[in-house]
Amino acid sequence: MASKVIHAIYTDDDILMQAVKQVRGERYHIEEVYTPFPVHGLDKAMGLAPTRIAITSFMYGLVGLSVAIVMMNYIMIQDWPQDIGGKPSFSYIENMPAFVPIMFEMTVFFAAHLMVITFYMRSKLWPFKKAENPDVRTTDDHFLMAIDAGHHDVEKLSKFLYDTGALEISLIENDEDH
């Protein structure tokens, strides 16, 4: 099914923010906004749901902590409780201070790396991935808002976008599925 999208290009992030608010106010659907840098408050203006990545990170940290505890309990206490320099290997708790640095680092390691991998997967980023940039200038100094034009009057929408401060407005017809 062919879909129509309007690309509106802005050159200022403040104008972009205003435009996003106006477009949302008119109940048009914003497909995506491309910016060269993080625009503070843009996600709120677009009404995007807050990220849950911190929660995943916390859970990964717990996994890392568990891995560290189970690993060292098995190696140092259960499997071969050797006397190394008089350290008490009778139970995990007795020798715990010596394990804390590893427990800490494993927690951080799991929390950080698995969170980053989660981020890559959720935002579909990997090497050799084909860039999805609709206009090369959006990585330099232009801002692009893509609005779904499906059921709207394109003329009216263009006029409205022009009034919000857009410098260039183009209609993109997409044959591919979304």
Residues that bind other proteins (CB under 8 A): 54, 58, 86, 97-98, 100
Q: Which pair of structure tokens corresponds to residue 99?
A: 């394990």
Is the separation of the CB atoms in 146 and 4 below 8 Å?
Answer: no
Query: Residue 55 Cβ, how far from other proteins at the closest point, in Å?
Result: 9
- Reported in sequence order, the residue ranges of 52-162 that DSSP labels E, i.e. its strands, are 143-148
Shortest CB 105 distance to other proteins, Å? 13
To the nearest whole angstrom, how small is the minimum distance from the Cβ of residue 166 to other proteins?
Answer: 29
CB 42 within 8 A of CB 35: yes
**95 or 158, CB closer to other proteins?**
95
CB neighbourhood size of 139 (10 A): 13
The size of the chain, in residues, is 178
Of 42 and 98, nearer to other proteins (C-beta) is: 98
Nearer to other proteins, 102 or 146 (CB): 102
3-state secondary structure of 38: coil
The residue (of 60 and 160) whose beta carbon lies closer to other proteins is 60
| Residue type present at position 12 | D
Q: How far is the CB of 97 from other proteins (least distance, A)?
A: 5
